Amino acid sequence: MGKVTGFLEFERTDRKYAPVEERLRNYNEFVIPLPESDLKQQAARCMNCGIPFCHTGCPVNNQIPDWNDLVYLDDWKTASANLHSTNNFPEFTGRVCPAPCEEACTLNLEDTPVTIKTIECAIVDKAFENGWVKPDVPAKKTGRKVAVVGSGPAGLAAAEQLARAGHDVHVFEKFAKAGGLLRYGIPDFKLEKHLIDRRVSLMESEGVTFHYGAHVGVTVKAKELLDGFDAVVLAGGAEKPRDLPIPGRELDGIHFAMDFLPQQNRRVGKEAFDATDILATGKKVVVIGGGDTGSDCIGTSARQGATAIVQLEILPMPPEKADKLTTWPNWPLKLRTSSSHHEGASREFSVLTEKFSGENGKVKTLHCVRVDDRMKPIPGSQFEIEADLVLLAMGFVHPVKEGMLAELGVALDPRGNVKADTEAYRTSIDKVFAAGDMRRGQSLVVWAIREGRQAARAVDEFLMGVSALPR
Protein backbone atom coordinates (compact mmCIF):
# COMPACT_ATOMS: atom_id res chain seq x y z
CA MET A 1 0.00 0.00 0.00
CA GLY A 2 1.66 3.18 -1.23
CA LYS A 3 0.05 5.82 0.97
CA VAL A 4 -1.61 4.75 4.20
CA THR A 5 -3.67 7.91 4.48
CA GLY A 6 -4.38 8.29 0.74
CA PHE A 7 -8.10 7.53 1.04
CA LEU A 8 -8.42 10.22 3.72
CA GLU A 9 -6.41 12.86 1.88
CA PHE A 10 -7.64 12.61 -1.70
CA GLU A 11 -11.16 12.95 -3.06
CA ARG A 12 -12.31 10.60 -5.81
CA THR A 13 -11.84 12.27 -9.22
CA ASP A 14 -12.61 10.55 -12.49
CA ARG A 15 -12.24 11.11 -16.23
CA LYS A 16 -14.52 13.75 -17.73
CA TYR A 17 -16.19 13.77 -21.13
CA ALA A 18 -15.74 16.27 -23.96
CA PRO A 19 -18.79 18.62 -24.14
CA VAL A 20 -21.85 17.14 -25.88
CA GLU A 21 -21.89 19.65 -28.77
CA GLU A 22 -18.23 18.83 -29.50
CA ARG A 23 -18.45 15.04 -29.28
CA LEU A 24 -21.61 14.82 -31.39
CA ARG A 25 -19.65 16.14 -34.38
CA ASN A 26 -17.79 12.86 -34.89
CA TYR A 27 -17.54 9.22 -33.80
CA ASN A 28 -14.26 9.56 -31.87
CA GLU A 29 -13.78 8.54 -28.25
CA PHE A 30 -14.50 11.53 -26.02
CA VAL A 31 -13.31 10.46 -22.55
CA ILE A 32 -10.53 12.79 -21.39
CA PRO A 33 -7.71 10.89 -19.63
CA LEU A 34 -6.68 12.07 -16.14
CA PRO A 35 -3.26 13.70 -15.82
CA GLU A 36 -0.58 11.44 -14.37
CA SER A 37 -0.39 13.36 -11.07
CA ASP A 38 -4.14 12.81 -10.53
CA LEU A 39 -3.84 9.14 -11.45
CA LYS A 40 -1.18 8.59 -8.80
CA GLN A 41 -3.36 10.26 -6.18
CA GLN A 42 -6.35 8.18 -7.23
CA ALA A 43 -4.25 5.01 -6.99
CA ALA A 44 -3.07 6.15 -3.54
CA ARG A 45 -6.71 6.09 -2.38
CA CYS A 46 -6.67 2.27 -2.48
CA MET A 47 -6.67 0.90 1.09
CA ASN A 48 -5.15 -2.49 0.16
CA CYS A 49 -8.04 -4.10 2.02
CA GLY A 50 -7.47 -7.30 4.01
CA ILE A 51 -10.23 -8.76 1.88
CA PRO A 52 -9.99 -6.91 -1.46
CA PHE A 53 -13.66 -7.00 -2.43
CA CYS A 54 -12.73 -5.48 -5.80
CA HIS A 55 -11.31 -8.94 -6.67
CA THR A 56 -14.65 -10.61 -6.11
CA GLY A 57 -16.24 -8.08 -8.44
CA CYS A 58 -13.74 -8.58 -11.27
CA PRO A 59 -14.45 -11.59 -13.53
CA VAL A 60 -10.81 -11.79 -14.65
CA ASN A 61 -9.55 -11.41 -11.06
CA ASN A 62 -7.39 -8.38 -11.83
CA GLN A 63 -4.94 -7.85 -8.96
CA ILE A 64 -6.26 -4.36 -8.41
CA PRO A 65 -4.58 -3.31 -5.13
CA ASP A 66 -1.21 -4.50 -6.46
CA TRP A 67 -1.31 -2.31 -9.55
CA ASN A 68 -2.81 0.61 -7.65
CA ASP A 69 0.27 0.45 -5.43
CA LEU A 70 2.62 0.20 -8.43
CA VAL A 71 1.02 3.24 -10.07
CA TYR A 72 1.37 5.23 -6.84
CA LEU A 73 5.05 4.20 -6.74
CA ASP A 74 5.44 5.29 -10.40
CA ASP A 75 6.33 1.77 -11.55
CA TRP A 76 3.98 1.72 -14.56
CA LYS A 77 5.90 -0.97 -16.38
CA THR A 78 5.48 -3.54 -13.61
CA ALA A 79 1.86 -2.41 -13.24
CA SER A 80 1.32 -3.25 -16.91
CA ALA A 81 2.96 -6.67 -16.56
CA ASN A 82 0.74 -7.37 -13.55
CA LEU A 83 -2.41 -6.20 -15.35
CA HIS A 84 -1.62 -8.26 -18.44
CA SER A 85 -1.07 -11.36 -16.29
CA THR A 86 -4.84 -11.56 -15.70
CA ASN A 87 -6.36 -9.67 -18.64
CA ASN A 88 -5.35 -10.04 -22.30
CA PHE A 89 -7.08 -6.85 -23.39
CA PRO A 90 -7.21 -4.19 -20.63
CA GLU A 91 -7.47 -1.44 -23.27
CA PHE A 92 -10.95 -2.82 -24.10
CA THR A 93 -12.17 -3.28 -20.53
CA GLY A 94 -10.57 0.03 -19.49
CA ARG A 95 -12.97 1.65 -21.97
CA VAL A 96 -16.17 -0.39 -22.06
CA CYS A 97 -16.37 -2.44 -18.86
CA PRO A 98 -19.22 -1.42 -16.53
CA ALA A 99 -16.63 -1.95 -13.76
CA PRO A 100 -18.22 -4.38 -11.30
CA CYS A 101 -14.89 -4.01 -9.41
CA GLU A 102 -15.80 -0.42 -8.53
CA GLU A 103 -19.25 -1.45 -7.32
CA ALA A 104 -17.50 -4.02 -5.08
CA CYS A 105 -14.76 -1.65 -3.81
CA THR A 106 -14.91 -1.07 -0.06
CA LEU A 107 -14.82 2.69 -0.62
CA ASN A 108 -18.03 2.36 -2.63
CA LEU A 109 -19.81 1.94 0.71
CA GLU A 110 -19.39 5.72 0.82
CA ASP A 111 -20.04 6.18 -2.94
CA THR A 112 -16.38 6.99 -3.59
CA PRO A 113 -14.83 3.80 -5.01
CA VAL A 114 -11.25 3.84 -6.24
CA THR A 115 -11.28 4.85 -9.95
CA ILE A 116 -10.15 1.34 -10.90
CA LYS A 117 -11.27 1.39 -14.54
CA THR A 118 -9.57 4.72 -15.23
CA ILE A 119 -6.32 3.49 -13.66
CA GLU A 120 -6.52 0.24 -15.66
CA CYS A 121 -6.98 2.17 -18.90
CA ALA A 122 -4.10 4.53 -18.09
CA ILE A 123 -1.74 1.64 -17.31
CA VAL A 124 -2.33 -0.13 -20.63
CA ASP A 125 -2.38 3.06 -22.71
CA LYS A 126 0.95 4.09 -21.19
CA ALA A 127 2.34 0.60 -21.76
CA PHE A 128 1.54 0.84 -25.48
CA GLU A 129 2.91 4.40 -25.71
CA ASN A 130 6.18 3.20 -24.23
CA GLY A 131 6.44 0.03 -26.33
CA TRP A 132 6.19 -2.28 -23.29
CA VAL A 133 3.48 -4.49 -24.84
CA LYS A 134 5.35 -6.98 -27.00
CA PRO A 135 4.29 -10.23 -28.69
CA ASP A 136 4.74 -13.16 -26.32
CA VAL A 137 6.11 -15.73 -28.75
CA PRO A 138 6.32 -19.29 -27.34
CA ALA A 139 9.81 -20.78 -27.07
CA LYS A 140 8.55 -24.18 -28.24
CA LYS A 141 5.73 -25.24 -30.56
CA THR A 142 3.60 -28.25 -29.57
CA GLY A 143 2.66 -29.32 -33.09
CA ARG A 144 -1.04 -29.27 -32.10
CA LYS A 145 -3.61 -27.36 -34.15
CA VAL A 146 -6.57 -25.52 -32.64
CA ALA A 147 -9.44 -23.84 -34.51
CA VAL A 148 -11.27 -20.97 -32.82
CA VAL A 149 -14.62 -19.96 -34.33
CA GLY A 150 -15.35 -16.27 -33.74
CA SER A 151 -13.04 -13.34 -33.09
CA GLY A 152 -14.96 -11.52 -30.36
CA PRO A 153 -13.25 -11.01 -27.01
CA ALA A 154 -13.80 -14.69 -26.03
CA GLY A 155 -12.30 -16.05 -29.26
CA LEU A 156 -9.42 -13.56 -29.20
CA ALA A 157 -8.53 -14.32 -25.57
CA ALA A 158 -8.69 -18.08 -26.17
CA ALA A 159 -6.60 -17.79 -29.34
CA GLU A 160 -3.94 -15.64 -27.71
CA GLN A 161 -3.59 -17.92 -24.68
CA LEU A 162 -3.42 -21.05 -26.85
CA ALA A 163 -0.83 -19.51 -29.18
CA ARG A 164 1.28 -18.56 -26.16
CA ALA A 165 1.07 -22.19 -25.01
CA GLY A 166 2.73 -23.13 -28.31
CA HIS A 167 -0.26 -24.38 -30.32
CA ASP A 168 -0.88 -23.55 -33.95
CA VAL A 169 -4.05 -21.43 -33.70
CA HIS A 170 -6.41 -20.53 -36.54
CA VAL A 171 -9.30 -18.11 -35.96
CA PHE A 172 -12.29 -18.41 -38.31
CA GLU A 173 -14.37 -15.23 -38.54
CA LYS A 174 -17.39 -14.73 -40.78
CA PHE A 175 -16.92 -10.96 -41.03
CA ALA A 176 -14.18 -9.01 -42.83
CA LYS A 177 -12.40 -7.93 -39.65
CA ALA A 178 -11.75 -9.25 -36.14
CA GLY A 179 -13.34 -8.13 -32.88
CA GLY A 180 -16.93 -9.44 -32.82
CA LEU A 181 -19.17 -7.02 -30.95
CA LEU A 182 -16.13 -4.97 -29.98
CA ARG A 183 -15.84 -4.04 -33.65
CA TYR A 184 -19.39 -4.21 -35.02
CA GLY A 185 -21.63 -3.65 -31.98
CA ILE A 186 -19.92 -1.19 -29.65
CA PRO A 187 -19.72 2.21 -31.38
CA ASP A 188 -16.39 3.89 -32.16
CA PHE A 189 -17.18 6.69 -29.72
CA LYS A 190 -16.86 4.12 -26.92
CA LEU A 191 -14.03 2.07 -28.43
CA GLU A 192 -11.99 3.19 -31.44
CA LYS A 193 -11.24 0.24 -33.69
CA HIS A 194 -7.52 0.88 -34.25
CA LEU A 195 -7.18 -0.52 -30.72
CA ILE A 196 -8.49 -3.88 -31.98
CA ASP A 197 -6.24 -3.77 -35.07
CA ARG A 198 -3.22 -3.18 -32.83
CA ARG A 199 -4.02 -6.27 -30.74
CA VAL A 200 -4.73 -8.39 -33.78
CA SER A 201 -1.34 -7.60 -35.29
CA LEU A 202 0.34 -8.47 -31.97
CA MET A 203 -1.52 -11.79 -32.02
CA GLU A 204 -0.43 -12.42 -35.60
CA SER A 205 3.16 -11.91 -34.45
CA GLU A 206 2.47 -14.49 -31.74
CA GLY A 207 1.56 -16.95 -34.49
CA VAL A 208 -2.26 -16.72 -34.65
CA THR A 209 -3.65 -17.03 -38.20
CA PHE A 210 -6.91 -15.18 -38.94
CA HIS A 211 -9.28 -16.39 -41.67
CA TYR A 212 -11.82 -13.68 -42.53
CA GLY A 213 -15.02 -14.18 -44.47
CA ALA A 214 -14.96 -17.77 -43.15
CA HIS A 215 -18.50 -18.54 -42.01
CA VAL A 216 -18.33 -21.92 -40.32
CA GLY A 217 -21.41 -23.99 -41.08
CA VAL A 218 -22.05 -21.86 -44.19
CA THR A 219 -18.90 -21.22 -46.28
CA VAL A 220 -16.62 -23.55 -44.27
CA LYS A 221 -17.94 -26.95 -43.21
CA ALA A 222 -17.77 -27.54 -39.46
CA LYS A 223 -16.64 -31.06 -40.33
CA GLU A 224 -13.51 -29.63 -41.98
CA LEU A 225 -12.55 -28.14 -38.62
CA LEU A 226 -13.22 -31.43 -36.83
CA ASP A 227 -11.09 -33.29 -39.37
CA GLY A 228 -8.28 -30.75 -39.62
CA PHE A 229 -7.75 -29.67 -36.00
CA ASP A 230 -6.93 -31.33 -32.67
CA ALA A 231 -9.45 -29.13 -30.85
CA VAL A 232 -12.14 -26.59 -31.79
CA VAL A 233 -13.32 -23.67 -29.62
CA LEU A 234 -16.78 -22.29 -30.40
CA ALA A 235 -16.83 -18.57 -29.54
CA GLY A 236 -19.51 -17.35 -31.94
CA GLY A 237 -21.42 -15.13 -29.50
CA ALA A 238 -25.19 -15.00 -28.83
CA GLU A 239 -26.39 -13.31 -31.99
CA LYS A 240 -30.10 -14.10 -32.11
CA PRO A 241 -31.91 -10.85 -31.21
CA ARG A 242 -35.11 -10.75 -29.14
CA ASP A 243 -37.97 -9.69 -31.43
CA LEU A 244 -41.21 -7.84 -30.71
CA PRO A 245 -43.89 -9.78 -32.60
CA ILE A 246 -46.77 -7.30 -32.33
CA PRO A 247 -49.12 -5.94 -35.02
CA GLY A 248 -47.29 -3.65 -37.46
CA ARG A 249 -43.87 -5.22 -36.86
CA GLU A 250 -43.52 -5.73 -40.63
CA LEU A 251 -43.63 -1.97 -41.38
CA ASP A 252 -40.57 -0.29 -42.91
CA GLY A 253 -38.44 1.63 -40.47
CA ILE A 254 -38.48 -0.99 -37.67
CA HIS A 255 -35.07 -2.62 -37.30
CA PHE A 256 -33.01 -4.64 -34.86
CA ALA A 257 -30.28 -2.57 -33.18
CA MET A 258 -27.73 -4.95 -34.64
CA ASP A 259 -28.90 -4.12 -38.17
CA PHE A 260 -28.37 -0.42 -37.40
CA LEU A 261 -25.20 -0.18 -35.25
CA PRO A 262 -22.83 -2.31 -37.39
CA GLN A 263 -23.64 -0.19 -40.45
CA GLN A 264 -22.32 2.93 -38.72
CA ASN A 265 -19.24 1.12 -37.41
CA ARG A 266 -18.57 -0.08 -40.96
CA ARG A 267 -19.00 3.46 -42.34
CA VAL A 268 -16.48 4.76 -39.82
CA GLY A 269 -14.15 1.84 -40.60
CA LYS A 270 -14.59 2.41 -44.37
CA GLU A 271 -15.84 -1.14 -44.78
CA ALA A 272 -18.39 -1.74 -47.53
CA PHE A 273 -21.73 -3.40 -46.74
CA ASP A 274 -24.47 -4.51 -49.10
CA ALA A 275 -27.62 -3.57 -47.21
CA THR A 276 -29.89 -0.54 -47.57
CA ASP A 277 -28.72 2.32 -45.34
CA ILE A 278 -30.57 2.61 -42.06
CA LEU A 279 -30.02 6.17 -40.86
CA ALA A 280 -31.53 8.29 -38.11
CA THR A 281 -30.74 11.57 -39.90
CA GLY A 282 -33.70 13.95 -39.66
CA LYS A 283 -35.88 11.26 -38.06
CA LYS A 284 -37.87 10.81 -34.89
CA VAL A 285 -36.27 7.74 -33.32
CA VAL A 286 -37.71 5.41 -30.72
CA VAL A 287 -35.36 2.90 -29.10
CA ILE A 288 -37.12 -0.03 -27.43
CA GLY A 289 -34.92 -1.49 -24.69
CA GLY A 290 -33.18 0.27 -21.84
CA GLY A 291 -29.77 -1.45 -21.75
CA ASP A 292 -26.30 -0.82 -23.18
CA THR A 293 -27.33 -1.62 -26.74
CA GLY A 294 -30.18 0.88 -26.43
CA SER A 295 -27.72 3.53 -25.21
CA ASP A 296 -25.47 2.86 -28.19
CA CYS A 297 -28.46 3.34 -30.51
CA ILE A 298 -29.13 6.71 -28.84
CA GLY A 299 -25.52 7.92 -29.19
CA THR A 300 -25.36 6.78 -32.81
CA SER A 301 -28.75 8.34 -33.69
CA ALA A 302 -27.70 11.61 -32.06
CA ARG A 303 -24.50 11.70 -34.13
CA GLN A 304 -26.44 10.95 -37.31
CA GLY A 305 -28.71 13.94 -36.61
CA ALA A 306 -31.99 12.50 -35.31
CA THR A 307 -34.55 15.21 -34.55
CA ALA A 308 -35.91 13.44 -31.43
CA ILE A 309 -34.95 10.28 -29.54
CA VAL A 310 -37.13 8.44 -27.03
CA GLN A 311 -36.03 5.31 -25.18
CA LEU A 312 -38.68 2.94 -23.86
CA GLU A 313 -38.13 0.36 -21.13
CA ILE A 314 -40.78 -2.08 -19.97
CA LEU A 315 -39.32 -2.46 -16.46
CA PRO A 316 -39.97 0.14 -13.77
CA MET A 317 -37.41 2.90 -13.22
CA PRO A 318 -34.81 1.53 -10.79
CA PRO A 319 -33.87 3.59 -7.71
CA GLU A 320 -31.31 6.38 -8.30
CA LYS A 321 -29.11 5.04 -5.51
CA ALA A 322 -28.31 1.43 -4.66
CA ASP A 323 -29.30 0.08 -1.26
CA LYS A 324 -25.70 -0.59 -0.23
CA LEU A 325 -26.53 -2.54 2.91
CA THR A 326 -28.43 -5.17 0.97
CA THR A 327 -26.43 -5.25 -2.28
CA TRP A 328 -22.76 -4.37 -1.68
CA PRO A 329 -20.36 -5.84 -2.82
CA ASN A 330 -22.60 -7.33 -5.49
CA TRP A 331 -23.77 -5.64 -8.68
CA PRO A 332 -26.65 -3.38 -7.57
CA LEU A 333 -29.92 -2.56 -9.24
CA LYS A 334 -29.88 1.21 -9.76
CA LEU A 335 -30.63 3.77 -12.45
CA ARG A 336 -27.74 3.86 -14.91
CA THR A 337 -27.37 6.95 -17.02
CA SER A 338 -24.88 6.57 -19.84
CA SER A 339 -22.99 9.31 -21.67
CA SER A 340 -25.40 8.75 -24.60
CA HIS A 341 -28.40 9.66 -22.41
CA HIS A 342 -26.84 13.09 -21.93
CA GLU A 343 -26.70 13.55 -25.69
CA GLY A 344 -30.40 14.25 -26.00
CA ALA A 345 -32.80 11.38 -25.34
CA SER A 346 -35.86 11.19 -23.16
CA ARG A 347 -36.44 7.97 -21.23
CA GLU A 348 -39.72 6.33 -20.36
CA PHE A 349 -40.00 3.41 -17.94
CA SER A 350 -42.84 0.90 -17.37
CA VAL A 351 -44.01 1.22 -20.97
CA LEU A 352 -45.24 -1.60 -23.18
CA THR A 353 -45.56 -1.14 -26.94
CA GLU A 354 -48.80 -2.84 -28.04
CA LYS A 355 -48.67 -2.17 -31.77
CA PHE A 356 -47.09 -0.14 -34.56
CA SER A 357 -49.08 1.67 -37.23
CA GLY A 358 -47.97 3.56 -40.31
CA GLU A 359 -48.67 5.06 -43.71
CA ASN A 360 -47.64 3.70 -47.11
CA GLY A 361 -45.95 0.74 -45.44
CA LYS A 362 -43.77 2.98 -43.25
CA VAL A 363 -43.93 3.14 -39.46
CA LYS A 364 -45.42 6.38 -38.09
CA THR A 365 -46.78 5.66 -34.62
CA LEU A 366 -46.13 3.44 -31.60
CA HIS A 367 -49.24 2.60 -29.58
CA CYS A 368 -48.10 2.20 -26.00
CA VAL A 369 -49.56 1.55 -22.58
CA ARG A 370 -48.11 2.05 -19.11
CA VAL A 371 -47.64 -1.11 -17.05
CA ASP A 372 -47.56 -1.82 -13.33
CA ASP A 373 -44.68 -3.48 -11.44
CA ARG A 374 -45.87 -6.89 -12.63
CA MET A 375 -45.84 -5.62 -16.22
CA LYS A 376 -49.66 -5.67 -16.42
CA PRO A 377 -51.17 -2.86 -18.56
CA ILE A 378 -52.78 -0.07 -16.51
CA PRO A 379 -56.32 0.51 -17.93
CA GLY A 380 -56.77 3.93 -19.54
CA SER A 381 -53.03 4.70 -19.71
CA GLN A 382 -52.67 4.21 -23.47
CA PHE A 383 -50.67 6.82 -25.36
CA GLU A 384 -48.98 7.24 -28.74
CA ILE A 385 -45.46 8.20 -29.83
CA GLU A 386 -44.56 9.34 -33.33
CA ALA A 387 -41.58 7.64 -34.96
CA ASP A 388 -39.90 7.33 -38.36
CA LEU A 389 -37.30 4.88 -37.09
CA VAL A 390 -37.78 2.23 -34.39
CA LEU A 391 -34.75 0.36 -33.08
CA LEU A 392 -35.32 -2.90 -31.22
CA ALA A 393 -32.65 -3.25 -28.53
CA MET A 394 -34.22 -5.83 -26.25
CA GLY A 395 -31.23 -8.12 -25.95
CA PHE A 396 -30.29 -11.46 -27.44
CA VAL A 397 -31.96 -14.78 -26.75
CA HIS A 398 -29.24 -17.30 -27.66
CA PRO A 399 -26.65 -18.14 -30.35
CA VAL A 400 -27.73 -18.64 -33.95
CA LYS A 401 -28.61 -22.33 -34.11
CA GLU A 402 -28.78 -22.71 -37.88
CA GLY A 403 -25.51 -23.45 -39.68
CA MET A 404 -22.56 -24.41 -37.49
CA LEU A 405 -24.39 -25.54 -34.33
CA ALA A 406 -26.95 -27.54 -36.33
CA GLU A 407 -24.23 -29.14 -38.46
CA LEU A 408 -22.25 -30.15 -35.38
CA GLY A 409 -25.39 -31.33 -33.59
CA VAL A 410 -23.97 -29.93 -30.36
CA ALA A 411 -26.17 -30.14 -27.23
CA LEU A 412 -27.76 -26.92 -26.00
CA ASP A 413 -28.75 -25.91 -22.48
CA PRO A 414 -32.37 -25.05 -21.57
CA ARG A 415 -31.80 -21.41 -22.60
CA GLY A 416 -30.57 -22.47 -26.04
CA ASN A 417 -26.87 -21.71 -25.42
CA VAL A 418 -24.15 -24.26 -26.15
CA LYS A 419 -23.96 -26.64 -23.20
CA ALA A 420 -20.55 -26.78 -21.51
CA ASP A 421 -19.48 -26.31 -17.88
CA THR A 422 -16.93 -23.77 -16.63
CA GLU A 423 -14.38 -26.37 -15.50
CA ALA A 424 -13.70 -28.28 -18.71
CA TYR A 425 -15.58 -26.00 -21.16
CA ARG A 426 -16.25 -29.18 -23.21
CA THR A 427 -19.38 -29.53 -25.28
CA SER A 428 -21.26 -32.74 -26.03
CA ILE A 429 -19.01 -33.27 -29.10
CA ASP A 430 -15.56 -34.77 -28.67
CA LYS A 431 -12.71 -32.19 -28.78
CA VAL A 432 -15.15 -29.27 -29.20
CA PHE A 433 -15.18 -26.55 -26.53
CA ALA A 434 -17.34 -23.43 -26.08
CA ALA A 435 -16.74 -20.04 -24.45
CA GLY A 436 -18.14 -16.53 -24.14
CA ASP A 437 -21.68 -15.48 -25.05
CA MET A 438 -22.12 -18.64 -27.14
CA ARG A 439 -21.86 -20.65 -23.89
CA ARG A 440 -23.08 -18.27 -21.18
CA GLY A 441 -25.59 -16.19 -23.18
CA GLN A 442 -25.52 -12.44 -23.70
CA SER A 443 -23.03 -10.98 -21.24
CA LEU A 444 -20.05 -8.62 -21.00
CA VAL A 445 -16.65 -8.20 -22.63
CA VAL A 446 -14.87 -8.96 -19.36
CA TRP A 447 -16.77 -12.25 -18.94
CA ALA A 448 -15.94 -13.20 -22.53
CA ILE A 449 -12.23 -12.60 -21.82
CA ARG A 450 -12.45 -14.70 -18.66
CA GLU A 451 -14.15 -17.56 -20.49
CA GLY A 452 -11.71 -17.39 -23.41
CA ARG A 453 -8.78 -17.63 -21.01
CA GLN A 454 -10.29 -20.47 -18.99
CA ALA A 455 -11.36 -22.41 -22.08
CA ALA A 456 -7.81 -22.06 -23.45
CA ARG A 457 -6.45 -23.66 -20.33
CA ALA A 458 -9.00 -26.46 -20.59
CA VAL A 459 -8.03 -27.07 -24.24
CA ASP A 460 -4.32 -27.01 -23.37
CA GLU A 461 -4.91 -29.58 -20.61
CA PHE A 462 -6.94 -31.73 -23.00
CA LEU A 463 -4.17 -31.64 -25.61
CA MET A 464 -1.11 -31.88 -23.35
CA GLY A 465 -2.36 -33.56 -20.16
CA VAL A 466 -1.13 -30.59 -18.08
CA SER A 467 -1.24 -26.84 -18.61
CA ALA A 468 0.89 -23.96 -17.40
CA LEU A 469 -1.75 -21.43 -18.50
CA PRO A 470 -3.39 -19.55 -15.61
CA ARG A 471 -6.76 -20.77 -14.39
- Are the beta carbons of 48 and 6 closer than 8 angstroms? no
With H, G, I as helix, E, B as strand and everything else as coil, classify residue 253: coil
With H, G, I as helix, E, B as strand and everything else as coil, classify residue 233: strand
Least distance (Å) between residue 75 CB and ligand FAD:
28
The CA-atom distances, in angstroms, between 390 and each of 145, 252, 255, 415 are 45, 9, 6, 27
Would you say the C-alpha torsion 199, 205, 206, 207 has a positive or negative sign?
A: positive
DSSP state of 333: -
Is residue 216 involved in binding ligand FAD (CB under 6 A)? yes
Binding partner of residue 444 among ligand SF4, ligand FAD, none, CB cut-off 5 to 8 Å per kind: ligand FAD
The CA-atom distances, in angstroms, between 127 and each of 120, 352, 447 are 11, 48, 23
Binding partner of residue 52 among ligand SF4, ligand FAD, none, CB cut-off 5 to 8 Å per kind: ligand SF4
Least distance (Å) between residue 300 CB and ligand FAD:
9
Q: Return the number of other C-beta atoms located less than 10 Å from residue 346's C-beta.
A: 10
Please identify, using beta-carbon distances, which residue of 66 and 136 lies nearer to ligand SF4: 66
The residue type at 173: E
Q: Return the number of other C-beta atoms located less than 10 Å from residue 156's C-beta.
A: 32
DSSP state of 108: G
* Strand ordering across the sheet containing 284-288: 254-256, 389-392, 284-288, 308-312, 346-348
Least distance (Å) between residue 8 CB and ligand SF4:
12
Residue selected from 54, 162, 233, 257 as contacting ligand SF4 according to rule CB under 6 A? 54
Is residue 47 involved in binding ligand SF4 (CB under 6 A)? yes
- Are the beta carbons of 184 and 262 closer than 8 angstroms? yes
Please identify, using beta-carbon distances, which residue of 68 and 151 lies nearer to ligand SF4: 68
Using the contact rule CB under 6 A, the part of the chain among 213-221, 321-329, 352-360, 421-429 near ligand FAD is: 213-221
Is residue 200 involved in binding ligand FAD (CB under 6 A)? no
Is residue 97 involved in binding ligand FAD (CB under 6 A)? yes
Residues with Cβ within 8 Å of 366's Cβ and at least 6 positions away in sequence, in order, are 286, 312, 353, 356, 384, 385, 387, 390
Is residue 49 involved in binding ligand SF4 (CB under 6 A)? yes
Using the contact rule CB under 6 A, the part of the chain among 8-16, 214-222, 355-363, 462-470 near ligand FAD is: 214-222
Using the contact rule CB under 6 A, the part of the chain among 63-71, 124-132, 164-172, 309-317 near ligand SF4 is: 63-71
Using the contact rule CB under 6 A, the part of the chain among 1-9, 103-111, 174-182, 356-364 near ligand FAD is: 174-182
Using the contact rule CB under 6 A, the part of the chain among 46-54, 153-161, 269-277, 378-386 near ligand FAD is: 153-161
DSSP state of 26: S
State CA 222 to chain mean position distance. Answer: 26
Binding partner of residue 286 among ligand FAD, ligand SF4, none, CB cut-off 5 to 8 Å per kind: none
Residue selected from 71, 127, 203, 261 as contacting ligand FAD according to rule CB under 6 A? 261
Is residue 101 involved in binding ligand FAD (CB under 6 A)? no
Residues with Cβ within 8 Å of 350's Cβ and at least 6 positions away in sequence, in order, are 313, 314, 315, 316, 317, 370, 371, 372, 373
Residue selected from 100, 150, 253, 329 as contacting ligand FAD according to rule CB under 6 A? 150
Residue selected from 208, 434, 445, 458 as contacting ligand FAD according to rule CB under 6 A? 445
Is residue 114 involved in binding ligand SF4 (CB under 6 A)? yes
Please identify, using beta-carbon distances, which residue of 65 and 187 lies nearer to ligand SF4: 65
Helix intervals (H) in 112-212: 116-129, 153-164, 181-184, 194-205
* Cα separation, 103 vs 328, whole angstroms: 7
Is residue 469 involved in binding ligand SF4 (CB under 6 A)? no
Least distance (Å) between residue 175 CB and ligand SF4:
37
Q: Which residues bind ligand SF4 (CB under 6 A)?
A: 46-49, 52-54, 64-65, 68, 105-107, 114, 116
Q: Which residues bind ligand FAD (CB under 6 A)?
A: 96-97, 149-155, 172-175, 180-182, 185-186, 190, 214-217, 235-237, 261, 292-293, 296, 403-404, 436-438, 443-446, 448
